[in-house]
Amino acid sequence: MTVGLATTLRNARADQIKTAVDAGGAAGLFRVYDGTRPATGGTATTLLAELTMSYPSAASASGGVLTFSAITADASANATGTATWGRLVTSASAFVEDFSVGTSGADFNLNTVSITSGVQVSCTSATSTEGNA
């Protein structure tokens, strides 16, 4: 049977992600990769771009959704490829979360998933939604 959690609990769980991203004491990092997404925390594929979160990274979660604040673009992509997944780490590079990327309807939405080396990569919206609604 599916578990259904009170919204306050889902918010509290989502807020833990924000706390973890901000734990480095400075802006966390949002790294974008190509290829098949590994198991959570697994060895990363090719790094395409690295964007910089706000600090703090988000306001408190609402409705079980953590909406991240503005994310600073990477002025020059590291490599050419198709963005498929991303990884959030602290400012010190401690692992926090893996997630899907896209241009709409994904956890983290980019201006494009067709990334070209040396071209700017920006994030148009980013959320983390708690399950068990």
Partner 1 sequence: MKFFKRMFSGVTEQAPVVTPAAVEAPVVATIYHGPPGTRIYHEYFVGEPRHDGKFPWNCRVYAPDGTITEIPGVADTRQAADDAAGEWAASTKATIRGAA
> By C-beta, is 44 or 65 nearer to partner 1?
44
C-alpha 34/C-alpha 48 separation (Å) is 7
Please, are residues 49 and 121 in contact by the beta-carbon 8 Å criterion? yes
CB neighbourhood size of 89 (10 A): 19
Please, are residues 95 and 111 in contact by the beta-carbon 8 Å criterion? no
Q: Does 70 bind partner 1 (CB under 8 A)?
A: yes
Q: Which helix (H) or strand (E) holds 37?
A: none
Residue ranges in 78-107 that form contacts with partner 1 under rule CB under 8 A = 78-79, 87, 89, 92-95
Rounded least distance, CB 3 to partner 1, Å: 22
Tell me how many residues contact partner 1 (CB under 8 A): 27
CB neighbourhood size of 16 (10 A): 14
Please, are residues 98 and 32 in contact by the beta-carbon 8 Å criterion? no
> By C-beta, is 11 or 84 nearer to partner 1?
84
> By C-beta, is 118 or 131 nearer to partner 1?
118
Which window, 5-13, 36-44, 59-67, 125-133, contacts partner 1 (CB under 8 A)? 36-44
Binding site for partner 1 (CB under 8 A): 31, 41, 43-44, 46-47, 50, 52, 70, 72-79, 87, 89, 92-95, 117-118, 120, 122
